[in-house]
Structures are given as structure tokens and as C-alpha cells.
Amino acid sequence: MVQECAPGGERPEPPSVLRVPFSVTTRHGVRPPAVAGQFYPGDARELEAVVRGFLGTVGPSPLPPTPPVALVAPHAGYAYSGPVAGSAYALVAPFRGVVRRIVLLGPSHHVAFRGLALPDCEAFDTPLGSHDLDVDGTAAVLGSPIAERYDEPHRDEHCLEVQLPFLRVALGPVPIVPIVTGEASPTEIADMLDRVWAPDTLVVVSSDLSHYLPYDHAREADRRTADAIERLDGAAVGPHDACGSTAIRGLLEAARRRGLGARCVDLRNSGDTSGSRGRVVGYGAFGFWAEAPSG
């Protein structure tokens, strides 16, 4: 299923989903930013200040003293979802230097396909600098029967790109394994994660929650989704609950296998962050720990 997320609450016209050859690489094997200056500031100094501001507004909470091993963070324009994304990345910022590989998963908003797509490039560029692709991690993912190098889903995709400035400021230029998800089962994604997950690996799933509901309805729907994620109940998270439901459900199955505990640390929508409450988009920040969070 192809979803469309604009920087705010509007829905643009659906793009073509024809599968045609395309290379995202334009310069020395580097994928350039597709939405800099649109979803987030294109100027490096401004962008860093904005991200640090989001990270700095998050207060302390009674969570485990160990770093989370996985996150779920939203991917709309920073004016809308940036505060909630800041809540997710504030969980890992104190542990800079611990994470040495980041596996990024997010939904395809422009291209319908079956399986998992990795780009045929060596790095992703951002206004704050580039992130190299992790060679071993990429090879491990490509060992999955549903994964392939397929550039087209990465060309205009924002869901992974908007996470990179947060990761850069919080953790530094850590190598990444960027995966756009097409049609795949939770078991297939969990099996893939088993190939690449290691003690120094952080898994990040990029997803917004409900789309274009009235404010009060969105709050109720997103609370149900958040409760399901905390229960690790992937069956209760569908495409109308979260645009990244495919990746979320795979992460929840992997979390059950590993005995992880999940906690929702922020749950808001664009009506809370941008002011308009007519048709809103929901955002949640979640952390996953090897020990279940208390409270």
C-alpha cells in the first residue's frame, strides 16, 4: 500500500507507481537530500539549532539507565512532528558512542512493491554531513529472501531522510542501513532484523500514526495504537493506524522474540504542535529496552 505524507496535514496527488530503472546516486555514490528545505531546514547551522532545540525541550523521565535498542519516531515536517521526534532521540542522545550501526526502516510513500528495498549507493548526504552505509549490515540484510537493491523507492522518500539530522546530532555520523519497506509480513521483517541486530545496533522505525482525523478522534485512535505497541501487539496496528505499520509490526514481532519491553514517551498530533485541529496527523515516540520500563 502506498501512503502519502506531506510536510503538514495536506494530501498531495498520488504519484506514479511504475517500477522503472533509476539511480539515486548523483555524486560519488552519495544519495543527495530530497526534502531539505521542505520538511526541515536546508541550512546546516539552522538545522542543527532546530534539532538541538527539540532534543533540549525533553524533560527527564523514569526509564532504564541503559540505552534503548530500538525506537519508533515520526517523519512529518519538523514544524509538525519535530517535537515528538525529539522525545524519541533524547532517549539515545546520552549514549553517544555506544551505537555503531543504525538500521532504519520506513514505508514507501511513492512506489508500490513487494519486499524490502536498499539503495545502490555508498552514503546518504544531509546538510549536516553524510552517513555511510554500513557494509556488513547491508550485506546481512541483502541475505534476506525479501530484500534487494532497488533505488526507485529511495529517490523522493522522506521517511528515512528526516531521521538523519536527529541521528547526526544525537549520535554522530554513525553508519546506517536504510531500508524502505514494501509489502512484507511481520515474520519476514523480524527474520531480516535477526540477521542484522547486534549489541551495538539501534533499530529505528519511521512512522506517523493516524492521518487526517478530527483532533479528538485522532487522540483516541493514537492512544489505542500506542497501547498496542506497548503490548507488542502487532495484530492491533494496521495501515490506518500508522503509515509505517508494516515495519512496526515486524519490529514488534522481533521485540517479542527478544523479550523487549516498550514504552510510549510522547504522543501528540499536528493539532498540538501546529495549532490546526480540523484534520490532524498523529505522532508517537517509543523506546524499546532489553529490560521492561517501569511505571
pLDDT digits (tens, 9 = 90+) for 18-46: 333 334 444 569 999 999 999 999 999 99
User: Identity (one letter) of the amino acid at 235?
Assistant: A
Mean pLDDT score across all residues of the chain: 90
Q: Specify the higher pLDDT residue, 199 or 65.
A: 199
pLDDT at 4: 47
Asked if 55 contacts 170 with a C-beta cutoff of 8 angstroms, the reply is: yes
Average pLDDT, integer, range 111-128: 96
Does the residue 58 lie in any domain? yes
pLDDT at 63: 74
Number of domains in the chain: 1
Provide the CATH number for the domain around residue 234: 3.40.830.10
pLDDT at 64: 77
Average pLDDT, integer, range 106-126: 96
Phi, psi values for residue 101, rounded to 5°: -155, 140
Q: What is the pLDDT of residues 41-88, one digit of tens each?
A: 999 999 999 999 999 876 666 677 889 999 999 999 999 999 999 999
How is residue 232 annotated by DSSP?
T
pLDDT at 61: 66
Does the residue 17 lie in any domain? no
Check whether 104 has a pLDDT greater than 60.
yes
Check whether 145 has a pLDDT greater than 90.
yes
Does the residue 170 lie in any domain? yes
Does the residue 64 lie in any domain? yes
Q: What is the pLDDT of residues 229-265, one digit of tens each?
A: 999 999 999 999 999 999 999 999 999 999 999 999 9
User: Identity (one letter) of the amino acid at 145?
Assistant: P
**How many CB atoms are located within 10 Å of the residue 6 CB?**
16
Residue 275's pLDDT band, with cuts at 50, 70 and 90, is: confident
Residue 16's pLDDT band, with cuts at 50, 70 and 90, is: very low
pTM of the model: 0.90
17 to 59, 107, 108, 120: CA distances (angstroms): 42, 14, 10, 19
What grid cell was written down for 255? 521485540
Check whether 281 has a pLDDT greater than 50.
yes
Question: Where does residue 148 rank: exposed (0-12), middle (13-18), buried (19+ CB within 10 A)?
Answer: middle
Does the residue 43 lie in any domain? yes
What grid cell was written down for 22? 533509476
Asked if 209 contacts 225 with a C-beta cutoff of 8 angstroms, the reply is: yes
pLDDT at 255: 98
Give residue 215's domain range: 30-289
pLDDT at 18: 30
Does the residue 295 lie in any domain? no
* Distance in angstroms (rounded) separating the CA atoms of residues 135 and 261: 29
Average pLDDT, integer, range 115-123: 96
Does the residue 230 lie in any domain? yes
